[in-house]
Amino acid sequence: MNQQQTSGGEDDRVRQRRRQITTAAVQLFSERGYFQTTVQEIADAAGVSAGLIYQYFDDKEDLLLLAILDVLDSYTNEIPQAVEGIADPLDRCRAAFRAYCHVVDSRQAATILAYRSTKSLPRQHRDLIKNAERQTNRIIGGYIDACIEAGLFRNVDSEIATYQLVMYAHAWALKHWQLAPRLDLDGYINQGLDFFLHAMLTEAGWRHLQRDETV
Amino acid sequence: MNQQQTSGGEDDRVRQRRRQITTAAVQLFSERGYFQTTVQEIADAAGVSAGLIYQYFDDKEDLLLLAILDVLDSYTNEIPQAVEGIADPLDRCRAAFRAYCHVVDSRQAATILAYRSTKSLPRQHRDLIKNAERQTNRIIGGYIDACIEAGLFRNVDSEIATYQLVMYAHAWALKHWQLAPRLDLDGYINQGLDFFLHAMLTEAGWRHLQRDETV
Amino acid sequence: MNQQQTSGGEDDRVRQRRRQITTAAVQLFSERGYFQTTVQEIADAAGVSAGLIYQYFDDKEDLLLLAILDVLDSYTNEIPQAVEGIADPLDRCRAAFRAYCHVVDSRQAATILAYRSTKSLPRQHRDLIKNAERQTNRIIGGYIDACIEAGLFRNVDSEIATYQLVMYAHAWALKHWQLAPRLDLDGYINQGLDFFLHAMLTEAGWRHLQRDETV
Amino acid sequence: MNQQQTSGGEDDRVRQRRRQITTAAVQLFSERGYFQTTVQEIADAAGVSAGLIYQYFDDKEDLLLLAILDVLDSYTNEIPQAVEGIADPLDRCRAAFRAYCHVVDSRQAATILAYRSTKSLPRQHRDLIKNAERQTNRIIGGYIDACIEAGLFRNVDSEIATYQLVMYAHAWALKHWQLAPRLDLDGYINQGLDFFLHAMLTEAGWRHLQRDETV
DNA sequence: TATGAATGAGAGTTCATTCAT
DNA sequence: GATGAATGAACTCTCATTCAT
């Protein structure tokens, strides 16, 4: 990644420029795909010259990397926010799942971007993306673990379970053309919750859930 | 799509050539991606000249379309084969799931191809791919429906359930880098079966399952 | 040019094939131009395979040469035919001019072909075309000379005069888009005759002409 | 046609580049023909890279169009210049004819270009060329009309007469291989004048001409 | 004699990247 | 810092020509 020697106050201008360009890149890469988007188009969308991009990014690939990481970051940020203040582990799990699905829904094209374009990057950059993904997954995994420890979930492999949840959320973007005609987002989320709870809840978990709903 | 006028015996040569080229295309598109693969490379891999490809395919895009359809066809063909002769609906469902996961495992790169590259095609071609996908899904859906009708599965939305199964199988390819270090294919399949059965089986279903295993 | 060793009766088949292909070539080269016409298209139009063309012609250029010569031959043949039996030199001249204009009218595209494509040929082939052209011109030139010798035309340079007549006729094809909206062929011919007669007739010529019209 | 956004002073650089490339294109297209000339060759001749051409022209066809129009413009510009200050309509007519022949002589290959290559363009572009041609013709036509109105020329169709003059001039390029061995340019021009004056002058015209020469 | 599958050189065009201003 | 004109490598696709059948 391009390293700018930033001396003090310059830092903000640099960050601002990077954001401006990254935002345009996410938008265009998501819509049209990495290879069908030209650097010139990104420059136009960002309102800068093509040449300037090369002062903030090494090359087009670097731009892709940053664009994908930007999207993954938004997951890592928005999900914990959504469950903030929810103490009950089961509620927290459900809220996190809902939040994930909502983020995917609002950034469908960007979600697909990682699936389409990650493989276009060199191994080293791919690893950065995988780590960012793992980070989000670990958050979800933590919520599941809490439920298991509380005896609400069966003792499933929480990492595999996390992938189930994550893939279910991603499927809303990946297979939207197939799912959208049949359900709206809330229907999709409820189906998912029904499924996952049946798959994972223990007897104690069911009682906890019912009390929850009684209250 | 390119239409060759094929009169009788010529048909075989044409099919053979198309297969030869498509196989190379699936291989290379899967490995390197659509845009990073040149037509020349496909020609070399297929052992033909670059020009000849244009006698069997309209253009590079056509080649991509046929490559993706080829992969999807292998799903549609191999899964019914794997459950042939299995009468019990629950057994059939489990066998189909296993088969799906095995096909994905054996054609990982090709499975990813559809996710990466479908969007690079024009709408009309995308629709052909979607239909091929629907066709496979309908097969799986039929197996699930049979279990529901037999009272073995809860009355879930079988289409959504199908997507769950399919995405789980696809995840083995899409997130292989993440999953493979933790499990082998059989472990992954068993985790999945455990999960899905818990999510869907009725009381009757559980009894059926246990009798099954006793026998 | 391709030399076929023709043994006796084979000769006809060969000539027939050549004619078949040349006719298609004239047609297509005239309509679309030399470079925009593919050998395959000519083969299709002639109802033979592309490969066969190379048994009767050296290459595509050869085909062009023969096509142009074919058109020029039709001039050399048709004009003398049209004046056959006309003894009066002035009448013969006028009839020849009319005939030339009519041939051009009926083969407009082919007439343009020589203008468009001759330069695409190597010098040696160009010379063959020039000679064919000279041959036709010499015929016209002869008619003019006869009028001069008879004292009906001024003693103009008959070769230049010939070019005037020829270019006037060719202009009907070359500038058809411009001329056709203003005149029909006969109007164009009459304008031309009026022009040329005024330019060339002597006093004696005028009297000859009037006597002609009186009779 | 390619539209460059030109703001003020940039305009000159753009015009200069376009001229540089157009000049090379006229040269090469004229010498070798449109299809035998590669964009790379034009770039080399113009001293720029092949890619740059596509920043000033849409495609090779656009380049052809501009090249032809450039030649036609030189007619429209140079002929009126040559007759500037000549008040007598007959003298003006003769000077214009001389000028036309001289321009054709100095740009022989370019003159042929329009005949060879116009048909390679799409209808819309062909129309632009036709209009440019009409414009030049209208200038000549005006000079002839003036002679008719002054009673110096017979009341001929001035448009057809214009074509006669124009074709005669063009023939110097189109049939140069045939004409040049017999006459030089001045001889050709004089022959033409002799011819046209005989064809068109009235009695009054002849007297005007003689007085002219007496003076 | 006739076919048409196969070749492969070569063309137009795009676009990431650089660098003088 | 910022521009955008300029580069040139690389790619897709076409088509004249050959040759096994």
Residues A128-155: tens digit of each pLDDT: 999 999 999 999 999 999 999 999 999 9
Q: What is the pLDDT of residue A9?
A: 60
Gap between the Cα atoms of C38 and C31, Å rounded: 12
What CATH code would you report for C1-58? 1.10.10.60
Question: Cβ of C135 < 7 Å from strand E?
Answer: no
Enumerate the residues of chain B whose CB falls inside 8 A of the CB of residue A194. Answer: 156
Do D and C make contact via 3 or more CB pairs under 8 A? The reply is yes
Asked whether the beta carbons of residue C163 and residue D177 sit closer than 8 angstroms, the reply is no
Q: Pick the residue from chain A with its C-alpha nearest to B122.
A: A32
**Domain residue ranges of chain D, discontinuous segments joined by +:** 1-58, 73-214
Three-state helix/strand/coil letters over A111-171: HHHHHHHHHHCCHHHHHHHHHHHHHHHHHHHHHHHHHHHCCCECCCCHHHHHHHHHHHHHH
Fold designation for B73-214: Tetracycline Repressor; domain 2 (1.10.357)
Enumerate the residues of chain C whose CB falls inside 8 A of the CB of residue D199. Answer: 195-196, 198-199
Gap between the Cα atoms of C164 and D166, Å rounded: 11
Asked whether the beta carbons of residue C195 and residue D156 sit closer than 8 angstroms, the reply is yes
Tokens encoding A164: 């189930």
Tokens encoding B54: 């244009």
Interface of C with D (CB under 8 A): 33-36, 112, 115-117, 119-120, 130, 133-134, 154, 156-157, 159-161, 163-164, 167-168, 170-171, 174-175, 177-179, 182-183, 188, 191, 194-196, 198-200
Enumerate the residues of chain A whose CB falls inside 8 A of the CB of residue B188. Answer: 160
Gap between the Cα atoms of D78 and D96, Å rounded: 9
Gap between the Cα atoms of C110 and C116, Å rounded: 10
Q: What is the pLDDT of residue A103?
A: 94
Distance from CA of C136 to the nearest CA of D (A): 13
Question: Cβ of B6 < 7 Å from strand E?
Answer: no
Asked whether the beta carbons of residue A178 and residue B115 sit closer than 8 angstroms, the reply is no
Average model confidence (pLDDT) for chain A? 92
Residue with tokens 């066969």: C52
Counting residues of chain A whose pLDDT is more than 90, the rounded percentage is: 87
Q: What is the pLDDT of residue C5?
A: 47
Enumerate the residues of chain A whose CB falls inside 8 A of the CB of residue B171. Answer: 163, 167
Q: Model confidence over A48-63: pLDDT tens digits?
A: 999 999 999 999 999 9
Buried b vs exposed e over C42-61: b needs ≥16 C-beta within 10 Å? Answer: bbebbebeeeebeebbeebe
Residues whose CB falls within 8 Å of the CB of residue C170, separated by 6 or more in sequence, listed in order: C104, C111, C115, D167
Counting residues of chain C whose pLDDT is more than 70, the rounded percentage is: 93
The model's confidence at residue C13, banded by pLDDT at 50, 70 and 90, is: confident
Question: Amino acid letter at C183?
Answer: L
Gap between the Cα atoms of D196 and D166, Å rounded: 12
Q: Model confidence over B13-27: pLDDT tens digits?
A: 899 999 999 999 999
Q: Is residue B93 over pLDDT 50? A: yes
Q: What is the pLDDT of residue B12?
A: 84
Q: Model confidence over C121-144: pLDDT tens digits?
A: 999 999 999 999 999 999 999 999
Q: How far is CA C114 from CA A92, C79, D46, D83, D109, in A?
A: 85, 18, 30, 35, 16
Closest by alpha carbon to D162, among C191, A57, C136?
Answer: C191
Q: Model confidence over D9-66: pLDDT tens digits?
A: 567 889 999 999 999 999 999 999 999 999 999 999 999 999 999 999 999 999 999 9
Nucleotides of E under 7 A from a protein CB: 1-20
Asked whether the beta carbons of residue D191 and residue C163 sit closer than 8 angstroms, the reply is no
Q: What is the pLDDT of residue D176?
A: 92
Counting residues of chain A whose pLDDT is more than 70, the rounded percentage is: 93
Q: Is residue D7 over pLDDT 60? A: no
Q: What is the pLDDT of residue C12?
A: 82
Closest by alpha carbon to D146, among D93, D192, D82, D96?
Answer: D93
* Residues comprising chain C, all counted: 215
Q: Model confidence over D103-113: pLDDT tens digits?
A: 999 999 999 99
Calculate the angstrom distance between C1' of E3 and CA of C39.
15
Question: Amino acid letter at D91?
Answer: D
Calculate the angstrom distance between C1' of E17 and CA of A61.
13
Calculate the angstrom distance between C1' of E10 and CA of D35.
13
Nucleotides of F under 7 A from a protein CB: 1-20
Helix (H) or strand (E) holding C127: helix C123-149
Q: Model confidence over B107-151: pLDDT tens digits?
A: 999 999 999 999 999 999 999 999 999 999 999 999 999 999 999
The model's confidence at residue D6, banded by pLDDT at 50, 70 and 90, is: very low
Question: What's the predicted TM-score (pTM) here?
Answer: 0.89
Helix (H) or strand (E) holding B57: none
Closest by alpha carbon to C30, among C110, C107, C115?
Answer: C110
Tell me the average pLDDT across A23-32.
Answer: 95
Q: What subunits make at least 3 CB pairs under 8 angstroms with D?
A: C
Asked whether the beta carbons of residue C178 and residue D120 sit closer than 8 angstroms, the reply is no
Cβ-nearest to C167 among D117, D171, D199: D171
Question: Cβ of C50 < 7 Å from strand E?
Answer: yes
Q: Is residue B81 over pLDDT 70? A: yes
Q: What is the pLDDT of residue B3?
A: 47
Q: Model confidence over B158-182: pLDDT tens digits?
A: 999 999 999 999 999 999 988 999 9
Q: What is the pLDDT of residue B6?
A: 40
Calculate the angstrom distance between C1' of F10 and CA of B38.
10
* Residue ranges of E strands in chain D: none
How many other β-carbons are positioned within 10 Å of the β-carbon of residue A135?
Answer: 13
CB pairs C-D closer than 8 Å: 93
Cβ-nearest to B35 among A35, A161, A191: A35
Gap between the Cα atoms of D200 and D209, Å rounded: 12
Calculate the angstrom distance between C1' of F20 and CA of B9.
18
Q: Is residue B1 over pLDDT 70? A: no
Cβ-nearest to A119 among B116, B120, B183: B116
Torsion-angle region of C33 (φ positive above 0: left; ψ -120 to 50: alpha; else: beta):
left
* Residues comprising chain D, all counted: 215
Average model confidence (pLDDT) for chain C? 91
Q: How far is CA A13 from CA A6, A39, A68, in A?
A: 10, 21, 22
Distance from CA of C168 to the nearest CA of D (A): 7
Q: What is the pLDDT of residue D139?
A: 94
Q: Model confidence over C163-180: pLDDT tens digits?
A: 999 999 999 999 998 899
Q: What is the pLDDT of residue D211?
A: 80
Tokens encoding C4: 């076929």
Gap between the Cα atoms of D142 and B19, Å rounded: 70
Cβ-nearest to A160 among B159, B161, B191: B191
Q: Model confidence over D66-91: pLDDT tens digits?
A: 999 999 999 899 999 999 999 999 99
Cβ-nearest to A33 among B120, B133, B177: B120
Tell me the average pLDDT across D129-142.
Answer: 94
Residues whose CB falls within 8 Å of the CB of residue D1, separated by 6 or more in sequence, listed in order: D57, D58, D62, D65, D66
